[in-house]
Chain A
Amino acid sequence: MTYIVKPKNHHPLLEKNKLGLTRRDYEGAVSTLCAGCGHDSVSSAIVEACFQLSIESYKVAKLSGIGCSSKAPAYFLNQSHGFNSVHGRMPSIATGAAMANHELLYLGISGDGDSASIGIGQFVHCARRQLNMTYIVENNGTYGLTKGQFSATNDLESKNKYGDDNLFPSIDLPSMAIQLGASFVARSFSGDKEQLVPLLKAALSHKGFSFLDIISPCVTFNNHNTSTKSYDYIREHNDALSKPDFVPSGKEILTDYPKGSSIEVPLHDGSLLALEKLSEDYDPADKIKAIQNIQESQRDGKVLTGLLYADPKAKDLREILNVSDKPLNTMDREELCPGSDKLEGINSGLR
């Protein structure tokens, strides 16, 4: 495996965004994942979402743990700094980085092994601390990189490639995230760009801990007909809560949007996530309902997707800790060092 840099031929007809950039400008190196891997679809949805939001790539930090999914940050946003850390520990890297400079956009990519097993403690505490970041789990119900072992998100009794039964119930990360205090929680499917891109845009615009569980099938180890994380299974059992449309701040809300059946979630920067209601009693601001919805559809053998929960007014970690508006990494000695006079005072207190 080597690192392949794509040739950069800009087609003059390629669409440009507010920054005058094309989608190519948001791409990364050529993926070395298996052809058809769900993770690549997620990468291209991230490219699309960042393009549409006119995000400045260099103000994004891409962070990950270890796994096929955690390699993905190399395949989008070439102009962003990336940090492929150690297995299950992306959340702590993100926490430290975000404390150093809250002005960047933190995008964490993890896998189900990375987040639901080895790193579950860090996932839990990162959500609980309301770190301002977008946290994506590319959930394929398997350990892709180590060749197909069961992961903790696999459904009870589903089979692996080798025909073995999974003996333990699955961990549902979105329910956990809601319960832990994440202020934006959604689930989607790598194969459903129409749903995924608006959700990504909303997650990236949300201030606070945005969690996205993206079912992302592993074509090599977990795409057979006894897996509940295969393309076919998800297509058949996808129970979309809502059809989202993301309206960035400053852009007019489309008038032909079916008002009667839609809910609008205003985000802190003034943008709106409009959801076309598919389910009658759905309210993304109701925590308890959200968890109930998830559990009910799970009971019925369905995979509930869409925006599950959002609290646009939640505080984030920096606010909770009352950390300065000026990024800590821009403070120099003059701002940080109390100086010799103060030290003399301390000395005299210790005599």
Chain B
Amino acid sequence: MSKINSINDFVIKFANVNGSGSASANQMFAKGVFRSGIPVSPKNIFPSNIQGLPTWFEVRVNEKGYLGRRDGIDIFVAMNPQSYQKDVSELKENGYLIYDSSWKREFGREDINVLEIPLTKLCVQEFTNPKQRLLFKNLGYVGLLASILEMDKEIYVSLIEEQFRGKEKLIEPNVKALNIGYNYAEENFKDFCEIKVQKSDKTDGLILTSGNDAAGLGCVYGGATVCAWYPITPSTSLAESYNKYSEKLRVEIGTDKNKFAFIQAEDELAAMGMTIGANWNGARAFTATSGPGVSLMSEFIGLAYFAEVPTVLFNVQRGGPSTGMPTRTQQSDILCSAYASHGDTKHVLLIPSDPKECFDFAVEAFDLADRLQTPVIVLLDLDLGMNDWSTKEFEWDDSIEYDRGKVLSKEDLDGIERFGRYLDVDGDGIPYRTYPGTHPEKGAYFTRGTSHDEYAGYTEDGVKNAEMLSRLLKKFQTASSLVPAPVFNQEKNESSMGIIYFGSTDCSMQEALDVLEDQNLKIDAMRIRAFPFNLEVWEFIEDHDLLFIVEQNRDGQMRTLIMAEGGIIPDKLVSILCFDGQPITAEHITNKINAHLSGKPALAAS
């Protein structure tokens, strides 16, 4: 029998039952590989359910640092008889199947290598507690993997020790469970597997964390003091991350009181209202949600836009429309975020592509919201938000101050004859604001969502209102020079073709570009990081005759936004789309581009 043979380059998938405690063992496997110095991209594929349904966990191990999802499984750890059939069919020819042979099975495939381990039987022999018998099967297969992949078992022993720090009693049985699998494999499968993990140094300077965790931490570093939110997958862990880090890092010494307020609101409308109220009053505040929540928040987003109240919103996108696929990923809220709310509205979007950037953009979002006095929406997606990524370490420069924007102090007000909340004093479209309670006689104004003049007075003068709307547009223009610039793959453009992409697609794109280059297809590439589009974005579009726009949605929403905002002719912009709820693969991108270039555009678009 032939066997897949590779070092530090494979995809392993685990099939489990939801709620069986497998998640932490699978996570531990991935972390062990990461600690061996090889970048990993673990992905949780889970149902919208708490217990009993099939769930999968996929880890790509790749020394080159390609972290995008890749089709074809090299090793399958099949622990769920319910899904055996489907799971085994995903295994590549000559791949390895590991299953619990306490109940023997035939899988009807001659082209794969099967490793049988009677995990349940072994655990029943070694443990008396019925819960442990079930739970420790998971660590058993981690032990087996450590053996067959020839990994340093001690890495897992220390991971167990770290996990149970403070609950030392649990270390011994966990290590025992690990050894059950490890020793069984040492005895039965020595030199069986030809896929290996070999220590490397490719994770130097990297950490393993999720976008939500990073963004929540970024909010702490960015000075957010109020978080109001309503639970919704996949954004919940972002708010929870903020709370977790705040409880560690934001408690007053001496009084034990919190330098933050964390409020679970009654719904997303209230969450957004609280966020706006706090920002209006001079605190940095944010909320986190997903598509359905954005729909509910839309009226308030329009208020914040028109009344010019800074607001930060994280939209961790999931499969839509409607309740859609709550536990699958998409980039399908581009338009509803960019133009959220009724009337003429447009909003600043920040689009990070890895957890490090989630941290950085969280910090930046507060500066931009304060500077521009407008909602800033940070767009993540489920893949980026909820999965752990091998990402660059967080960095912080202690000398940098927050930019609180144009806020007048009591002294400033003393020097002003008449304060006009909506006067464009500097010609950049950004007015000055005051916090309530600043000055006994000056600076008070009435914030309203109804039409108003420069002094915040109610007006039904249509010309005045049109002036106000035009100034908001000017402010948006100013925003385009302040938001993060795009990232280019090349120092200078070399091709008449370009690729535009954004967000979590980045990891597959790096790989796709390398593959295309190997095929002698040199295409320039630009990663958009923000809306409104900066000058550099328009120049790149201008400089190329044909542009592929890679998106994880059905309608090519970024393409629409580019056409609408820049008057770009549709023929020039070709969509490369993926909207099956799975993160896009490099192969998908290269196949579609090749199909288009070989004169089969229909195939490319489907």
Contact = CB atoms under 8 A, between A and B. Distances in A.
Interface stretch (A168-176, A250-258, A269-277, A343-351): A343-351
B458 A321 contact: no
Interface in A96-123: 96-101, 103-104, 121-122
Contacts of A96: 226, 228, 273-281, 283, 285
A56 B273 CA distance: 26
Interface in B435-458: 435-441, 444-450, 457-458
B231 to A, nearest CB: 15
Given A82-B445, A99-B283, A100-B278, A89 B221 contact: no
Given A93-B276, A321-B261, A336 B440 contact: no
Given A92-B274, A338-B220, A84 B439 contact: no
Contacts, number: 231
A95 interface: yes
Contacts of B444: 57-58, 78-82
A100 B449 contact: no
Given A79-B440, A84-B446, A339-B396, A97 B223 contact: no
Interface in A39-97: 56-59, 61, 63, 73-74, 78-86, 89, 91-97
Interface core residue of A91, A103, A124 (most chain B CB under 10 Å):
A91
A33 interface: no
A335 B274 contact: no
Contact of B209 (A59, A97, A321, A350): A350
B270 interface: yes
Interface residues of B, number: 76
B565 interface: no
A325 interface: yes
A35 B444 CA distance: 27
A340 B209 CA distance: 18
B282 A89 contact: no
Given A96-B281, A324-B255, A59 B437 contact: yes
Contact of A3 (B276, B396, B458): B458
B273 A333 contact: no
B313 to A, nearest CB: 13
B221 A338 contact: yes
Nearest to B207: A350
A333 B271 CA distance: 24
Contacts of A125: 265-266, 270
A65 to B, nearest CB: 10
Contacts of A78: 444
B204 to A, nearest CB: 10
A100 B221 contact: no
Interface in A305-351: 318, 321-325, 328-329, 331-333, 335-340, 342-343, 346-347, 350-351
Contact of A100 (B35, B209, B283, B393): B283
B217 interface: yes
Interface stretch (B109-117, B144-152, B397-405, B483-491): B397-405
A331 B259 contact: yes
Contacts of A103: 437
Contacts of A63: 277
Interface core residue of A92, A335, A338, A340 (most chain B CB under 10 Å):
A92
A340 B437 CA distance: 33
A13 interface: no
A259 B315 CA distance: 61
A3 B457 contact: yes
Contacts of A84: 446-450
A79 B442 CA distance: 7
Contacts of A2: 457-460
Interface residues of A, number: 62
B416 to A, nearest CB: 15
A156 B566 CA distance: 57
A339 B398 CA distance: 6
Contact of A346 (B206, B217, B446): B217
A14 interface: no
A99 B261 contact: yes
B207 A92 contact: no
Interface string B30-42: 0000110000000
Contacts of B228: 92, 95-96
A97 B280 contact: yes
Contacts of A122: 266, 269-270, 273
Interface in A3-37: 3
Contacts of A3: 457-459
B305 interface: no
Given A85-B303, A100-B285, A122-B266, 19 more contacts: A2-B457, A58-B436, A61-B281, A81-B444, A82-B446, A89-B273, A91-B273, A92-B270, A94-B277, A96-B228, A96-B274, A96-B277, A96-B285, A97-B281, A98-B277, A99-B277, A333-B223, A336-B250, A338-B220
24 contacts: A1-B458, A58-B441, A59-B437, A63-B277, A81-B434, A81-B435, A83-B447, A84-B446, A84-B450, A86-B300, A89-B270, A93-B274, A93-B280, A96-B278, A96-B283, A97-B280, A99-B274, A99-B277, A124-B266, A328-B283, A336-B250, A337-B396, A340-B398, A350-B207
Interface of B: 34-35, 203, 206-209, 217, 220-221, 223, 225-226, 228, 245, 249-250, 252, 255-263, 265-267, 269-283, 285, 299-300, 303, 393-398, 401-402, 434-441, 444-450, 457-460
